[in-house]
Structure 1
């Protein structure tokens, strides 16, 4: 997942996998990312392409459109198709903006998004 880490670095805010240690969270904005599952392409009981689900969570203490735009600009530049949602976490007094997407995990699909790989698998060529 070197590509994912490169994307996180390009966003330019502190990040951690899943959560920061108790008492060590930086001031917002910051990111947490999770890899909660997979959505692999398979047939005949064999996995042909592996895709990792990615949840990128942006935390801010106010509705920060500039921080959101920064994340979206980096994802767009990387060719990532994402879905976005947001919620207010009252107990933390933070907004969470969630970006959900997939990334390929196999070597020969490096540099391509999950949707690009799936589309490539479904290309029909008339002969």
Structure 2
């Protein structure tokens, strides 16, 4: 799976999606929650004999909601399962933004 395919799959959930962050301007403010951002976090390529044999890109998919929304979380998790992308999940309340952040860590191999 490529990064472009990941973006398309996340968009299919019907929420606003951006790489990194939403750029808020006076004429186009950031969307209200729920929304998703995603970004590359690090590589973990398989290497041998001074050669990268398999590209392994680690991404974070971040779901932001105004409150705990199990149905919305399940929507994201079901999509990741459909795509056969194993994930780990971390949750945090962002007090300054008054948002709940759910981070799904995934790997894209060979993309």
Structure 1 length-normalised TM: 0.79
Equivalence for 2:21: 19
* Structure 1 unaligned residues grouped into runs of 5+: 107-127
Superimposed CA distance per residue, residues 59-114 of structure 1 (whole angstroms, 9 cap, x where no aligned partner):
000001111000001111110100001000000000000000100244xxxxxxxx
Aligned length: 106
CA distance in 2, matches of 1:19, 1:86: 18
In structure 1, the partner of 2:10 is 8
Other structure's SS at 1:25 match? coil
Check if 1:97 corresponds to 2:102: yes
Structure with more of its chain in strand, by fraction: 2
TM-score using structure 2 length = 0.90
Q: Tell me by how many angstroms 1:22 deviates.
A: 2.9
- Larger Rg belongs to: 1
Please name the residue that 1:112 is paired with: none
> Displacement of 1:10 after TM fit?
2.1
Q: Is the 8 A contact 2:15 2:35 kept in 1?
A: yes
Q: Which runs of 5+ in 2 are unaligned?
A: none
Residue 122 of structure 1 corresponds to none
Q: CA RMSD in A?
A: 1.2
Question: Are 2:89 and 2:104, in contact at CA under 8 Å, matched by a contact in 1?
Answer: yes
Could you tell me whether the CA contact under 8 Å between 1:10 and 1:74 is conserved in 2? no
Q: SS state of the match for residue 11, structure 1?
A: coil
Q: Following the alignment from structure 1 to structure 2, what is the Cα–Cα distance between the partners of residues 10 and 20?
A: 18
Q: What's the CA shift for 1:21?
A: 1.0
User: Deviation of residue 44 (structure 1)?
Assistant: 1.4
